[in-house]
Copies of this chain bind each other. A is one copy, B any other.
Amino acid sequence: MNLLLVDSSELQGGNAVTLRDRRADHLRDVLHVTVGQQVRAGIVDGPMGTAVVEAVADDGITVRLEIRGPPTPRPCVDLLLALPRPKVMRRLWAQLSALGIDRILLVRAARVERNYFDTHVLQPAVYRPLLLEGLQQAMDTALPRVSVHRQLKPLVEDHLGALFPSGARLIADPSATRPVRKPILDARAERAVLAIGPEGGWTRYELDLFARHGFLAVSTGHRTLRSDTACIVLLGLLHDALAHGLSARQPV
């Protein structure tokens, strides 16, 4: 935990909060905090600053937040992900928020089993703590906005324009030869949405649907990676390309 995240609902009027969950355990058992100590802290979807430890007790740790200013900027990457197996999805949540995603759209695809959507891994009570864990690791406050879509076609045909009005549209396809960075640098894109398919891949119909809506096929190279590994590599490459484009645009 590199950043202590507090939800604004935990602050009852004032700026002090008594933590009694895993955050308190971490402050006590890993950071060994003492009264008066400062730690980096942030408000979920808000700004960052510091928290001053006011009391350390067996049943909780009280901190006073000194946090002002504007919220941290939201990440410039959206992810449209064919829902993976529940076990894989559980592993991904914290990694996705750590990597930095604005919107996570979990979609049904032809090769996604319908019962994957019945899992408790899609319940906010399960995934929200995992997303917060990733943010506390990566020192960010911007909680990804998660939505679940059981029908791909209406999502792509009717809603993508409003969801992603600008920026590059990419789709991961192991058979593609275009590197992730190319469409980003070519278009001088400042943000991007990336579609990642299921373990068995997108169908021809799905690939055509995305292509008709401006998605350019990209790949990590010649190796076929497991879906969760591919997801992490692709998001790493995408963030790198966006940062690279940004630095190329700004005078050094």
Chain A residues in the interface with B (C-beta under 8 A): 2, 94-95, 98-100, 137-140, 179-181, 220-221, 223-226, 229, 232-237, 239-240, 243-244
Contacts A94-B226, A95-B226, A98-B229 given; 4 further ones with Cβ under 8 A? A99-B229, A179-B244, A221-B243, A229-B232
Q: For residue A225, which residue of chain B has the nearest CB?
A: B98
Q: For residue A232, which residue of chain B has the nearest CB?
A: B232
Stoichiometry (number of copies): 2
When the two chains form their complex, are residues B179 and A223 in contact, meaning their CB atoms are under 8 A apart?
no
List residues of chain B with CB within 8 A of the CB of A138.
223-225
Secondary structure class of chain A's binding surface, majority of residues: helix
Our pick among B95, B180, B224, B240 for the contact of A229 (Cβ within 8 Å) is: B95
List residues of chain B with CB within 8 A of the CB of A233.
99, 232-233, 235-236
When the two chains form their complex, are residues A224 and B137 in contact, meaning their CB atoms are under 8 A apart?
yes
The complex places the Cα of A224 from the Cα of B140 at a distance, in Å, of 10
Q: How far is the CB of A85 from chain B (nearest CB, A)?
A: 14
List residues of chain B with CB within 8 A of the CB of A240.
179-181, 220-221, 237
Q: For residue A137, which residue of chain B has the nearest CB?
A: B226
Q: A220-B240, A236-B220, A237-B240 are in contact. Are A137 and B225 (CB under 8 A)?
A: yes
